[in-house]
Amino acid sequence: MNGTIRSLARRFSSQLQSKVVPRTPVKGKVFVGLVASGVAYDGVVNEFGTLQAVTRFLRSLRIAVSISLDYTLSLRGLEEGTDEYSARKKEVHLRCAHRMLKGCLANGGLYIKVGQGFATVNHILPPEYTETLQKLHNECLTRKKDEVKRVFIEEFGQKPEELFQEFDYNPIAAASLAQVFQATTKDGEKVAVKVQYIDLQKRFAGDLGTIIFLQDIIEIVHKNYNFGWIIRDIRKNLEKELDFVNEGKNSEKCAKDLAKFSYVYVPRVRWDLTNTKVLTTEWIDGVKMNQTEEIKKRGFDLADVDVKIFTTFSEQIFNTGFVHGDPHPGNVLIRRGKNGKAELVLLDHGLYENVPEDVKDSLCHFWEAIVLKDHKTMKEYATKLNVK
């Protein structure tokens, strides 16, 4: 799309950077902010022009400016590396993390998904950010009954109660992209129905464009900030996760890849009740893999469960190369298999990564070297994996 916020940011990035350098730091930052904000606002109005989109943009801009000023003014005059500087910086981190949290909650949708992404990179971002943004994982976003009906009418031309024998409008789970409902098909099968929020795809370009634009401007203003790649990585993943047909195909490939393991099960997709915004699969009852007490109550051996989880994901990483990208506890259930022992049920197949052959090979040698305590080989393959 010509003239998107992202392309505007790129264009002004190179032009403004050379112009700002000769100015004093504060004036330069104000200049960049004012010019870039005007450009971005015009882009939002022209391309994503709804009142809600503009409101989300202005809210995001206000938060970004307040964060930028907080770092600039709060740390001014302090010598980097001193105890006072470190203590002050932690305070600023925490204040700014709370601003981000409030902004994500207010804007909703993709902003919450992006915030959740930031919360997972605790090896990169300060703990003040990752711990604060962890709260977004507990946010249960629900939409009204009428909105769910609209999705079905737009996608199938029928309401849920017309497509299914029974459909419970009370969601059993909700996340940043979709809600999950329990239903019974016309042929009597109990199913889980994942329904995407109605406005997500319409908001995608505008909201992600706004976030990426603000990241680009922050990188211009704050030379030490270089985390924009996180957003771009999240964007790539979101494009995959918003296509529920792709998720259904991923689940079938996963089931095929792991078919040799009798203790792994992937819910079957009901393609007659699935499209890009609605995914219907067979219903599975089970216990989350981190609910250890409940797992023991059901008579399962924790060591056996651990080995099965380890073996399953090792198979994906080191052998098939088709790796589940979001194996958190809610996406791995434990239930009783046909042989009476623990069976793994893998859910949520929206995000997968294909591991290249050379990377798989390097990973195998790297882990073998770890087991053998061969430090020379460890270093060799760590370098090949760009690990320092």
Across 296-303, average pLDDT: 97
328: Cα within 13 Å, side-chain hemisphere: 8
Beta partners for residue 193, in sequence order:
181, 280
378 or 18: which leads in pLDDT: 378
Q: How is residue 141 written in tokens?
A: 């976003």
For tokens 């031309």, name the residue: 157
**CA pair distance 331, 310, nearest whole angstrom:** 15
User: Residue 309 pLDDT > 60, yes or no?
Assistant: yes
pLDDT at 123: 80
Strands 264-265 and 342-346: parallel
Range 145-196+243-354 has CATH code 3.30.1450.10: no
Rg, the chain, Cα only: 24
Residue pLDDT, tens place only, 125-176: 899 999 999 888 766 567 789 999 999 999 999 999 999 999 999 999 887 7
Which sequence positions are flagged as catalytic?
326
**CA pair distance 198, 195, nearest whole angstrom:** 8
Q: Where are the domains of the chain?
A: 26-138+201-242, 145-196+243-354
Beta partners for residue 191, in sequence order:
183, 282
Residue 341 neighbours by CB distance under 10 Å: 15
233 or 319: which leads in pLDDT: 319
Element (H, E) at 139: none
Q: Render 159-219 in DSSP notation, one character per residue.
A: -HHHHSSEE--S-SEE-SSEEEEEEE-TTS-EEEEEEE-TTHHHHHHHHHHHHHHHHHHHH
| Own/partner long-range contacts of 252-257 (Cβ < 8 Å, ≥24 apart) | 253/322, 254/316, 254/322, 254/324, 254/346, 254/349, 254/352, 257/315, 257/316, 257/320, 257/322
pLDDT at 46: 47
- Percent helix, strand and coil across the chain, each rounded to 5? 60, 10, 30
Closest C-alpha among 292, 272, 296, 294 to residue 282: 272
pLDDT at 47: 45
For tokens 């005059």, name the residue: 77
Query: CB–CB of 96/69 below 8 Å?
Result: no
E-strand ranges in the chain read 166-167, 173-174, 178-184, 190-196, 264-265, 278-282, 287-288, 322-324, 332-336, 342-346, 352-354
Q: Which residues contact 263 (CB under 8 A, 6 or more apart)?
A: 308, 337, 341, 342, 343, 344
How high does pLDDT run on average in the chain?
85
Q: Rounded to 5 degrees, what angle do the CA atoms 184, 149, 116 make?
A: 90
Residue pLDDT, tens place only, 48-107: 446 788 888 999 999 999 999 999 999 999 999 999 999 999 999 999 999 999 999 998
Query: CB–CB of 267/251 below 8 Å?
Result: yes
